[in-house]
Structure 1
Amino acid sequence: MKQYVMLAMALVMVSSRVCAQNGEFSPSPVPDRIILTLTATPASSQAVSWRTDTSVTQAQAQFAQATGSPDFRKSVKTIWATSSFFENIPHLEDHVVAKQHELVFTDLKPDTKYAYRVGDGSHWSEWFHFTTARADAGPVSFLYFGDSQTELKSMWSRVVREAYGTMPQVDFMLHAGDLINRSNRDSEWGEWYHAAGWINGSVPSVMTPGNHEYYDSVAGDRLDRHKKLSPYWQQSFRLPENGPAGIPELRETVYFIDYHDMRLISLNSCAARYHPETMEVQRQWLEKVLKNNPKKWTVVTHHFPLYSARKGPENLKLRTALQPLYEQYGVDLVLQGHDHTYGRGTNKDYGAQYKGDKGPVYVVSVSGPKMYDSSFYPWVDRSASNTQLYQLIKIEDNTLRYEAYTAIGDLYDAFELQKDYRGRNTFSEQAPQGVKEAVDLPLKRTKDWTDADFDDYEKRFKAYKKRKQGKTKGD
């Protein structure tokens, strides 16, 4: 009898593993999870990554300059991919083995539309298009998403699709970390890719890691020093490798991209917190990148915010290390995540930015449905809670325009920066006058609140409104 029980248990385990491998997002010989990512030279190259099952041995891509005629296929070139075996270990309930493939299209023409597909010669994806950057200082536009993290298929999908439907001609998409909730859970990564679908294969992405892209490498031990970046990151995304040398964790998480007249910089704020020795490495690297920056505009992204948009601990060590460099070298905009609420402002009192003070505009945003309450801290000029958002940033010549939209496409926040001949910015508040600030509390967050918690929230909100009413553009 004992043998039969053991056999039955073994069959259940095998069946469970097969079900997990053959679930909704299981790999097959047909390419899936196709995603374009920017390279350090976006005017002449383009990276792409995808996944198959382990039966694929020779992954490749075909590409050609796109035309209105289907005859472009007569002039395709073939390029072979670099492939690697992937297993999500340590994994949760969905054990998956697969092949990850990546390659870079090189020697491309600037400002040119190309067609491409990926496969193995027998199993092919559909044909996608992408357009390279210009070689000169033309306009640039991109979408910025705060944490997507949870309910990706059902709830984040509406945000990324609304964003693309509203602004389909953007140059790329930027994700400020916490793309998923559990770093090695394959079903969540499957939902993340599913939510954007074919958009990922047509509009390049850049991303910076959040704390949920890290996992506890020692079972039962949640000490920061044992946290590691998920293998999904570097095997799924082909990102620039021009960051600090010699530290594997920072590879493809700390980098910069020059796109037209903007320098975009990604920092790994999670590594800085979990492994403090990497903070100084990043700081020194950042200073060199900022000091030798030929571009008119500078945008930085990292997950943990320098100034928090929700009530809780501040990231003082990160702020102490980075803020002086941001102000010394004229960083224009810092795009962040983590707080699951929205805040936009400067490190000055409300109204001070109108006087031309140096220092970037800081933004914290959230695109997924997980919500926290807003802090209403003094740095915040525009706030929102319990609201899914996406942002559009447009840069042309001496103007940077920022717009934040709700999940249904309504304009919620906006401002412009005008840069003068000295490189100093004049800030113009352009938040829509008829749109009240969204301050409804998220029900899931407040279900266990006490009267004291609600009183504290009301006190913070009243102080915030008083600060705003006491300052105007003329002050």
Structure 2
Amino acid sequence: MTRPHTLLLAATLLSLAACNDAAPSTADAGSLAATITDAAAATDVVTPADAALAPDDVPAPERFSYVPMGCTHRVSAPVGSTSNFRDDRSTFGAAPDPHDVHVNWPADPSSTIAFLWRTDPGTRATVVQYGLSPTALDQTAVGSVGTAGLMGNQVTAHEVHVCGLRPDTTYHYRVGGEGHWSAVQRFKTGPAPGRTDYDVRFVVAGDSRDDVSRWRQLQERAMGGMNPPDFEIFTGDAVLVGFLQGQWQSWFEGARSAMSTVPFVMVHGNHEGLSVNYLMQFAQPQSGVSSQDELYFSLDYGPVHLVVLNDTPLRSDYEGDVLGTQLAWLRADLARARANRARVPFIIATHHKPAFASSSHSDEIDTQAVRRGWAPVYDEFGVDLVLNGHEHDFELSKEVDGQGREVSGRRGTRYVVTGGAGASLTTLGAGALQPWGAHFESAHHIVEVHATMTRLELTPRRLDGTVIEAGRISLTPRAP
């Protein structure tokens, strides 16, 4: 078998090449070099990159997979996950207490939730107790656990999926196992499909990378208001190097105020690099294409249809993936969403790299592929808002068509770049806005979105809480 560290390094370098400012700090570079050296003997570690880059005559490894009790969707461990176990309630290792507890949506947000956490490799107990009261956790579910990652950067991730929950209901829960429970936390399910009297509030952030302090401050601000968000969208590049587990642990620590109660919708960025550490620690809807599971999908939440895409494909395969498999899937999904506008009036798409921005990456090959392939489809099907990261700033486009030309009368799409969650800030690429640009600000920030059946409002806030007034927008539904 090809040694995985070589392939993983190649895949990581390809993904980081999309960033001009991608050079790690001295400490990060040393850690990266040590990781690759240590991995030389780790021939039992397989990564998604291995599966993609293996010769055609080598069969893909069989994946650990199952359907959780009471659910209709399937859970499939990433390629490279080892020591996978299910339904264990009582096996504990040296450090069994749960860390980095968080929740995601693996399917319909109104009735489904996934609980995830991290322990030592010897702990197999994967139990969740939950209920309608913090003092009456009268229901129990069990799940699966697996370990993956390069030597010295392995993660043991636990995952429990629960289905059949009541819509618009607050549940309380704890995870772990007898004698080793987490604190009791809570989450709320989404509104029932078709409900028309629901206010949705969510926040959007991206590109925290290697500044955990700013990331923590933004999360505390997002959760500290009178109306905490229903969920959060993260537009990619959570860490600098996706397979360094220590960076993920710092990122989770920074998000602690939000993650155990607010579901995160994760967008894959080029700095995640399709690393198995990223894939192990989040649970999202599966596309049915094994190499892209949990990387592109859609879901409805109240008046919002949300489309999540992956613009950093395996092997940098823009023609076959971004402009092939995903484009075909996107057209079919948006056709259904457009037909359903009377019930779900706003269509929002999110992915890492912006089609229309004014900063340093606006003319690069991968950005041009997104602009050429996806922007005309957004225009054709009437996508209202596109949320991106990649550029470390805040940007708002004019209302534009699929070619970036300004239009009016709710006939176009607004593009928002929100990549100011911690990474070093960027400046205008040519010293001036591109023709499609309406506003640019080099500022650390987070974006708040409020949606009802009659209006969608977007408000960007700087790290100090002040509003970027020129970045505010208010949209009404398009005609069905």
C-alpha displacement of 1:150: 1.4
Counterparts of 1:327 and 1:97, CA distance in 2:
43
Equivalent position SS for 1:160: helix
Counterparts of 2:142 and 2:285, CA distance in 1:
19
The answer to whether residue 356 in structure 2 is matched with residue 311 in structure 1 is no
In structure 2, the partner of 1:149 is: 209
In structure 2, the partner of 1:372 is: 426
CA gap 1:129/1:343 in 2 versus in 1, 3 angstroms: same
In structure 2, the partner of 1:184 is: 243
The answer to whether residue 383 in structure 2 is matched with residue 323 in structure 1 is no
The answer to whether residue 293 in structure 2 is matched with residue 251 in structure 1 is yes
The answer to whether residue 297 in structure 2 is matched with residue 238 in structure 1 is no
CA gap 1:347/1:270 in 2 versus in 1, 3 angstroms: farther
C-alpha displacement of 1:353: 6.0
AA in 1 matched with 2:336: N
Counterparts of 2:233 and 2:278, CA distance in 1:
15
Q: Any unmatched runs of 5+ in structure 2?
A: 1-33, 39-93
In structure 1, the partner of 2:449 is: 393
CA gap 1:98/1:340 in 2 versus in 1, 3 angstroms: closer
C-alpha displacement of 1:304: 0.8
Equivalent position SS for 2:391: coil
Equivalent position SS for 1:392: strand
In structure 1, the partner of 2:143 is: 81
Counterparts of 1:406 and 1:184, CA distance in 2:
30
AA in 2 matched with 1:79: A
Residues 138-217 of structure 1: pairs in structure 2 closer than 5 A: 138-152=198-212, 154-166=213-225, 168-214=227-273
1:174–1:205 contact (8 Å) kept in structure 2 = yes
AA in 1 matched with 2:173: Y
Q: Any unmatched runs of 5+ in structure 1?
A: 1-12, 18-26, 215-228, 424-475
In structure 2, the partner of 1:414 is: 472
C-alpha displacement of 1:261: 2.0
TM norm structure 1:
0.74
Equivalent position SS for 1:371: coil
CA gap 1:179/1:418 in 2 versus in 1, 3 angstroms: same
In structure 1, the partner of 2:72 is: none
Residues matched between the structures, number: 369
Counterparts of 2:315 and 2:303, CA distance in 1:
31
Counterparts of 1:311 and 1:85, CA distance in 2:
38
CA gap 1:190/1:330 in 2 versus in 1, 3 angstroms: same
C-alpha displacement of 1:378: 1.6
Residues 49-64 of structure 1: pairs in structure 2 closer than 5 A: 49-64=116-131
1:265–1:299 contact (8 Å) kept in structure 2 = yes
C-alpha displacement of 1:381: 0.7
Residue-by-residue CA offset, 1:88-126 (whole Å, 9 max, x unaligned): 21x6xxx14442111112111111110000002221100
C-alpha displacement of 1:202: 0.5
What's the RMSD between the two structures over aligned residues?
A: 2.3
Residue-by-residue CA offset, 1:330-370 (whole Å, 9 max, x unaligned): 10100001011221013649x98673152210011221141
Counterparts of 1:352 and 1:119, CA distance in 2:
53
Equivalent position SS for 1:394: strand
Equivalent position SS for 2:158: strand
AA in 2 matched with 1:397: M
CA gap 1:367/1:98 in 2 versus in 1, 3 angstroms: closer
The answer to whether residue 335 in structure 2 is matched with residue 263 in structure 1 is no
Q: Percent identity, please.
A: 27
Question: Among 45, 70, 82, which residue is 2:112 paired with?
Answer: 45
